[in-house]
């Protein structure tokens, strides 16, 4: 039995795993203390739970628990990383290198810094959504203080060559920040092997709760230093003041623990389902794949349906399939995806593209149903094309 609508927008957010929810519930009622209250047992018990979660999150990315800073989500983590590095190192230089297909959290943060004196280089991407490594290195200057390149793209699933980027950053003594909100918990992310200086994560992308995120800040070899963006009680080692979201953090820890144990099997299952969806739809006329298919997240495919308006398709199918044309942060916009445009797609093709994000709870029956519904829709459109384009 298929329950409608089928949810294929797991890049936007994921269903909170029931096991995560059960772990969180006591911290709303019975264990309600403030983790910063260190004079009584209600505070001690909660602080212990927070530190346990911090350890689990650190283990997922092979970090030290002391390198984990809790935030309200990946967007805050991105702001803290980029603005924090800029303010800390601006006396050394004001140049930051990023990429044209970054999440809006990165791009808009960089645009803000440009207004106060930062010099930002926005690297272009190839037609498959990847960056040119040589071009990245060629843009490094004596004033470069940070490289900010995402681990994997939220619209296409394309994975960037993180270790190669890190090697260039280390060679030139430049810090390297990567937004790993889409990658961590889906594929192995190892901050030691990947040699990143800062890394952002989000709980709700890995079947945890919304409203909680993490910034990994490297402590040595070399140490990354940031200026706090929120002032107050000096929480999180003076890097992020404010009463922390204890239930959310506990849930984040549990979500990371589950990913540690289930990620590899889950990825294998999702690749098979994703490939089936993709292969069946590619059999239809004028359907193509956007982005590199060799270096891609296991659960994502971005397809273009030539001659179709993706917005109208989403509206027509929304009772059957929940899917999007791009980032949830820009889904209200009518313009074509800036990510696909940066890859060289024309407006018509970009406007005819959909992102499919499968997840832990996606079933083979749901994929079969999605293939059937989309195929039928395209046949209907083809028979009456002028009314739909």
Map out the domains of the chain as residue ranges: 6-14+263-387, 18-257
Residue 192 has pLDDT above 80, yes or no: yes
329 is catalytic: yes
Q: How far is CA 242 from CA 42, 224, 236, 249, 386, in A?
A: 18, 22, 9, 14, 55
Q: Supply the pLDDT for residue 184.
A: 98
Average pLDDT over residues 351-357: 97
Whole-model pTM over 0.85? yes
The candidate with the shortest Cα–Cα distance to 346, out of 304, 283, 286, is 304
Residue 229 clears pLDDT 90, i.e. is over it: yes
Task: Read off the pLDDT of residues 254-281 as tens digits, 9 standing for 90 and up.
Answer: 999 999 999 999 999 999 999 999 999 9
Residue 387 burial (C-beta neighbours within 10 Å; 0-12, 13-18, 19+): exposed
Mean pLDDT score, 294-319: 96
pLDDT at 68 exceeding the cut of 70: yes
- Name, in order, each residue with C-beta under 8 angstroms of 15's C-beta and a sequence gap of 6 or more: 7, 207, 359, 360, 361
CB 217 within 8 A of CB 198: yes
Query: What average pLDDT does the segment 205-224 reach?
Result: 98
CATH of 6-14+263-387, one of 3.30.465.10, 3.20.20.105, 3.90.1150.10, 3.30.43.10: 3.90.1150.10
Q: d(Cα 365, Cα 133) in Å, to the nearest integer?
A: 41
Q: Is the pLDDT of residue 331 over 80?
A: no
For residues 310 and 329, what is the distance between their CA atoms, to the nearest angstrom? Answer: 17
Neighbour-count burial for 95-126, b at 16+ CB within 10 Å, e otherwise: bbbbbbbbbebbbebbeebeeeebebbbbebe
**Same fold? 6-14+263-387, 18-257:** no
Across-strand partners of 98?
122
Rounded to whole angstroms, the maximal C-alpha distance in the chain is 72
Q: How confident is residue 389, by pLDDT bands cut at 50, 70 and 90?
A: very low
User: What is residue 38's predicted lDDT score, i.e. its pLDDT?
Assistant: 86
pLDDT tens track for 14-46: 999 999 999 999 999 999 999 989 899 999 999
pLDDT at 327: 58
What pLDDT digit, counting tens, does each position of 69-82 carry? 999 999 999 999 99
pLDDT at 383: 78
User: Measuring CA to CA, how many Å separate 267 from each of 127, 245, 261?
Assistant: 26, 29, 12
Query: Nearest Cα to 104, choosing from 319, 254, 329, 324?
Result: 329
- Angle at which helix 41-60 crosses helix 246-282, to 10 degrees, equals 30
Do residues 366 and 2 touch, judged by C-beta distance below 8 A? yes
> Which pLDDT score, from 0 to 100, does residue 329 have?
56
Please identify which of the residues 16, 99, 110, 329 carries the catalytic annotation.
329
Return the residue matching tokens 């519904």: 373
Cβ contact 195:61 at 8 Å: no
Q: Structurally, what CATH architecture does the domain formed by 18-257 represent?
A: 3-Layer(aba) Sandwich (3.40)
Beta carbons of 183 and 152 less than 8 angstroms apart: yes
Enumerate residues 6+ apart whose C-beta is below 8 A from 294: none
Rounded Cα distance between 334 and 329, Å, is: 12
Tokens read off for 389: 């384009």
């Amino acid at each position: 039995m298929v329950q409608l609508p089928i949810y294929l927008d797991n890049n936007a957010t994921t269903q909170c795993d029931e096991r995560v929810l059960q772990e969180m519930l006591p911290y709303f009622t019975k264990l309600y203390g403030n983790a910063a209250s260190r004079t009584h047992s209600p505070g001690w018990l909660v602080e212990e739970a927070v530190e346990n979660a911090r350890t689990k999150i650190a283990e997922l990315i092979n970090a030290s628990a002391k390198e984990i800073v809790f935030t309200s989500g990946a967007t805050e983590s991105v702001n803290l990383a980029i603005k924090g590095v800029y303010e800390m190192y601006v006396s050394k230089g004001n140049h930051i290198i990023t990429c044209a297909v970054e999440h809006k959290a990165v791009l808009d943060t960089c645009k803000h810094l440009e207004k106060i004196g930062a010099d930002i280089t926005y690297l272009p991407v190839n037609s498959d959504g990847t960056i040119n490594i040589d071009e990245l290195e060629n843009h490094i200057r004596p004033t470069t203080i940070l490289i900010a390149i995402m681990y994997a793209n939220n619209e296409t699933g394309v994975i960037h060559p993180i270790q190669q980027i890190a090697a260039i950053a280390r060679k030139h003594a430049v810090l390297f920040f990567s937004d790993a909100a889409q990658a961590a918990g889906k594929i192995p992310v190892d901050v030691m092997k990947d040699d990143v200086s800062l890394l952002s994560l989000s709980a709700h992308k890995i079947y945890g709760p919304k409203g909680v995120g993490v910034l990994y800040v490297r402590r040595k070899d070399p140490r990354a230093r940031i200026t706090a963006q929120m002032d107050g009680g000096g929480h999180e080692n003076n890097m992020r003041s404010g009463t922390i979201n204890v239930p959310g953090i506990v849930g984040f820890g549990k979500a990371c623990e589950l990913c540690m144990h289930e990620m590899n099997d889950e990825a294998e299952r999702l690749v098979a389902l994703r490939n089936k969806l993709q292969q069946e739809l590619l059999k239809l006329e004028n359907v193509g794949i956007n982005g590199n298919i060799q270096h891609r997240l296991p659960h994502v495919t971005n397809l273009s349906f030539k001659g179709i308006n993706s917005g109208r398709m989403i509206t027509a199918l929304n009772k059957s399939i929940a899917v999007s044309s791009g980032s949830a942060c820009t889904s209200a916009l009518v313009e074509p995806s800036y990510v696909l445009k940066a890859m060289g797609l024309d407006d018509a093709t970009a406007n005819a593209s959909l992102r499919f994000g499968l997840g832990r709870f996606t079933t083979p029956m749901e994929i079969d149903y999605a293939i059937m519904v989309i195929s039928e829709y395209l046949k209907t459109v083809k028979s009456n094309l002028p009314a739909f384009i």
